Structure 1
Amino acid sequence: MKEFSSSHHPLLQHLFRSEYNKMTAVLCRHFGLQQMQLAEDLVSETFLKAVETWNRSGVPENPAAWLYTVASNKTKDYLKRAKTFETKIAEALKTEEQQETDIFFTEQHISDSQLAMIFAICDPVNSAESQVCLALQALCGFSVEEIANAFLTGKETIKKRLLRARAKLRNDQFKIVSMSDTVIQSRLDVVLTTLYLLFNEGYFSKTYDQMIRKDLCLEAIRLTLILTQHASTNTTSVNALLALMCYQSSRLDARTNDEGETVLFEQQDKGLWDQDLIDKGNYYLVNACSGNEVSKYHLEAGIAYWHIAPENERKWEYILQLYNELIVMEYSAVTALNRTFAFAKVYGYEQGRVEAEKLGLEGNSAYHALLGYLYASTSLSMAVKHYDAAIALVTSAAERRTLLREKELLEKAASQ
């Protein structure tokens, strides 16, 4: 995804983030990934045209529709004048799915194009990690840095992975075409991983100054919801993932204060929780439990459910039990730290500290933030020490402000 200068019109920045990938998906469905650069260039030219026109004539009544119209016209103009049309593209457009040369940016066509593109990109010609990387970039608009954060790896590694993935798809004569149910099922796990990572970046962004990016959370929910509307993809895992997203999204307004700092779970104003989203989460969780499958999304949805469920004296025991199952199914540092927090809630903060220190994640900011929290009630000096370590390691400005606030509160308490 190309960058868009911060000096451009603020509305265009928002539209670039929300519409660029939808427009690119429609054009890629039309041309195929061999012409992905062309699709990206046409969409970029559309936004540059908007900068020029809107600065001169003002913002149109329907900005998004204006962008779609210009993109459609630019595509038609290109097809008329491009010398390579007859030799390189026309044959591809003769397939059953691509007989029309008109570009339609209806809501349904955009959704269908995005869904078709994500399944097409998740081609086993590439490794599962490469499939997810490419889908996050091409469909979700992630920068290389955002993908690197999602995979906890370096940017150069991601750049190489993306280049290889695109090359393999081009060499494999990649096309966005209808797939059999068998092919769709074989690719669904990677698609769900992509949507899960998209949501996570919105729920807790480590790249941007704002810790929560609702646009990404909503986009992940929208795309996952599309999966529930097709018989071949309306699986229990899809419903479990959607339940998880609904539960987590229900608390977004309560998770930060007016300064953009994180509000700890126990300090959140429950009146700000979105009951409608909680109800939707309950609905999809019930759907997810209709079979015998238990995926990581089932376990995480169960954990999220207990976080927003009415008070229950065994609440943290249930959460810890689910984390125990999750960490056996798929270990990660994040899961291990979250499990330790639940462990401390059940067995006490002292035992929680012992459990946390076993992890040995000294290079992880969340590890030190957790120990800072657990030490706060017994050793202010140790708590401050760990918060200092967390602050030194953190990359997000919003997260740094939150940690500094907690440290200052402890130092204030120590001075009294």
Structure 2
Amino acid sequence: MQQDSLIPHLFRTEYSKIVAVLYHSFNLKQLEIAEDIASETFLKAAEVWSIKGVPENPAAWLYTVAKNKTKDYFKHNAVIEKQVKEAKQLNDIEAAQEFDFSDQNIADSQLAMIFAVCNPGNSAEAQICLALQILCGFSVEEIANAFLTKTETIKKRLQRARANLRNGDFQIKILSEAEIKTRLESVLKTLYLLFNEGYFSQTNNQLIRKDLCSEAVRLTYILTENNLTSTPQANALLALMCFQSSRLDARISDNGEAILLEDQDRNLWDQELIEKGNHYLVNACQGNEISKYHLDAMLAYWHATPTDKDKWQHILQLYNQLVIIEYSPVTALNRAFAFAKVFGHEKGIKEAEKLKLDEHVYYHSLLGYLYAGINSDQAIHHYEKAVGLTKSRIEKQTLSKEIKRLAEKRAAT
């Protein structure tokens, strides 16, 4: 991997680990210190690697620099505040020397931090924004895209949430089972949003960002390995991620264009991930709970299994349940697509148009798809509307190619 792409990749995968381990040594009031040290570590990497080249083990290099910068921070404070806090600072220096970047400590630190950030002192949306930024390394733009809102709104939300954490003097601590239950819903939603941003990215002109998908899977796996957090919902979410991840290599053509499920090369599907998805889905079905994640996982299961004559009926029934449990425009549009698969495109068009989501890109791309074999003019109209609404360069290319195909077909008739 080239340096210009390696550092952004490592920032995504390692920044949050460094922050989590350092943060485990501070209280939340000093969270910004851990973030500053992590950021300085990556600035140092960019500077040194451009001159000396990339080290043999880049992640280990980053951890070492982060340790040294933390020691320097404590020593600097010890000098400045020697008259007041000399003894405490010396203890802090010893603590810094014992920072442990083992896989287990990274996992424990990240799990502890996400539950600390997802604190009921903030609103659910603020908790998720904080966790996406601090634990997952999301930019403000990426968080805004995940919430389908303006960047300024997210900036203000993050500022208020951080102020609440500082003022409340929250600390990372071992949470009780009751506290975990209170916060787990926000944690799961955060990881769900993280995976979705990777699976269908709206940023950086990439349709798929595997690094985000992998990070979401890794963090959710940590939940399923802990007795207090290995709930049916957590297992259902991991099953969903495994099923969806199994098709990542088949979703994009060599030209970078999206490939619909029905046109994908199934030989590219990862059978091992599908088997893991089956495993976690079985684990999720212990008991009588049916959550959004259960329904999403079962939908992904049907998409990842060989077609049978009742496949789309099963999928439509699941979407019927899902829109009741948690309505969203995307869920409603997916249901309309399944409805069209069961009852035909003409009835599917009527079902989709009832939604009146004229400012939603997927509303127009769905109608373009459904009209394609019925009315080329209408199909082109909706595809053109979708092109105007999407932020994704790759999606624009895919839609424009379909417009061109339909225009050529219309001209030939």
Q: Is the 8 A contact 1:116 1:177 kept in 2?
A: yes
Query: Offset of 1:92 from its aligned partner?
Result: 10
- Give 2:192's aligned residue: 196
Pick one of 383, 386, 393 that aligns with 2:379: 383
Instruction: Show the 5 A alignment for 1:216-227.
Output: 216-227=212-223
SS in 2 for 1:162: helix
Pick one of 133, 139, 145 that aligns with 1:137: 133
- Give 2:63's aligned residue: 68
Provide, for residues 52-79 of structure 1, a one-character-per-residue CA deviation record: whole Å limited to 9, x for no partner: 2222222211111111111111111211
- Give 2:232's aligned residue: 236
CA shift in 2, pair 1:91/1:231, >3 Å? farther
Instruction: Please state if 1:325 is matched with 2:321.
Output: yes
Query: Offset of 1:176 from its aligned partner?
Result: 0.9
Q: Is the 8 A contact 1:22 1:110 kept in 2?
A: yes
Q: Is the 8 A contact 1:31 1:89 kept in 2?
A: no
Instruction: Show the 5 A alignment for 1:212-291.
Output: 212-291=208-287
Q: Is the 8 A contact 1:236 1:290 kept in 2?
A: yes
- Give 1:4's aligned residue: none
**Rounded Cα–Cα distance in structure 1 between residues aligned with 2:155 and 2:87:** 32
- Give 1:177's aligned residue: 173
Code of the aligned partner of 2:360: N
- Give 1:408's aligned residue: 404
Query: Offset of 1:99 from its aligned partner?
Result: 6.0
Instruction: Please state if 1:49 is matched with 2:44.
Output: yes
Instruction: Please state if 1:28 is matched with 2:23.
Output: yes
**Rounded Cα–Cα distance in structure 2 between residues aligned with 1:259 and 1:275:** 24
- Give 2:76's aligned residue: 81
> How many residues are aligned here?
408
Provide, for residues 6-57 of structure 1, a one-character-per-residue CA deviation record: whole Å limited to 9, x for no partner: x973322221222111111111111122222211221122122222222222
Query: Offset of 1:102 from its aligned partner?
Result: 2.3
TM-score (norm 2): 0.95
CA shift in 2, pair 1:275/1:188, >3 Å? same
Q: Is the 8 A contact 1:243 1:280 kept in 2?
A: yes
TM-score (norm 1): 0.94
Gaps of 5+ in 1: 1-6
Code of the aligned partner of 1:241: L
Instruction: Please state if 1:58 is matched with 2:53.
Output: yes
Provide, for residues 246-300 of structure 1, a one-character-per-residue CA deviation record: whole Å limited to 9, x for no partner: 0000000000001211001111001100000000000000111111100000001
SS in 1 for 2:25: helix
**Rounded Cα–Cα distance in structure 2 between residues aligned with 1:347 and 1:183:** 47
- Give 1:152's aligned residue: 148
Q: Is the 8 A contact 1:34 1:170 kept in 2?
A: yes
**Rounded Cα–Cα distance in structure 2 between residues aligned with 1:289 and 1:405:** 42
What RMSD, in angstroms, separates the aligned Cα atoms of the two structures? Answer: 2.0
SS in 1 for 2:288: coil
Q: Is the 8 A contact 2:74 2:89 kept in 1?
A: no
Q: What percentage of aligned pairs have identical amino acids?
A: 60
Q: Is the 8 A contact 1:250 1:277 kept in 2?
A: yes
**Rounded Cα–Cα distance in structure 2 between residues aligned with 1:347 and 1:89:** 75
Code of the aligned partner of 1:121: V
Q: Is the 8 A contact 1:25 1:139 kept in 2?
A: yes
- Give 1:3's aligned residue: none
Query: Offset of 1:94 from its aligned partner?
Result: 7.9
**Rounded Cα–Cα distance in structure 2 between residues aligned with 1:76 and 1:250:** 43
**Rounded Cα–Cα distance in structure 2 between residues aligned with 1:248 and 1:85:** 53
**Rounded Cα–Cα distance in structure 2 between residues aligned with 1:125 and 1:91:** 29
Q: Is the 8 A contact 2:71 2:96 kept in 1?
A: no
CA shift in 2, pair 1:296/1:257, >3 Å? same
Q: Is the 8 A contact 1:368 1:387 kept in 2?
A: yes
CA shift in 2, pair 1:231/1:378, >3 Å? same
- Give 2:395's aligned residue: 399
Q: Is the 8 A contact 1:76 1:102 kept in 2?
A: no
Q: Is the 8 A contact 1:43 1:71 kept in 2?
A: yes
**Rounded Cα–Cα distance in structure 1 between residues aligned with 2:309 and 2:90:** 62
Q: Is the 8 A contact 2:292 2:326 kept in 1?
A: yes
CA shift in 2, pair 1:397/1:37, >3 Å? same
Q: Is the 8 A contact 1:93 1:100 kept in 2?
A: no
CA shift in 2, pair 1:408/1:175, >3 Å? same
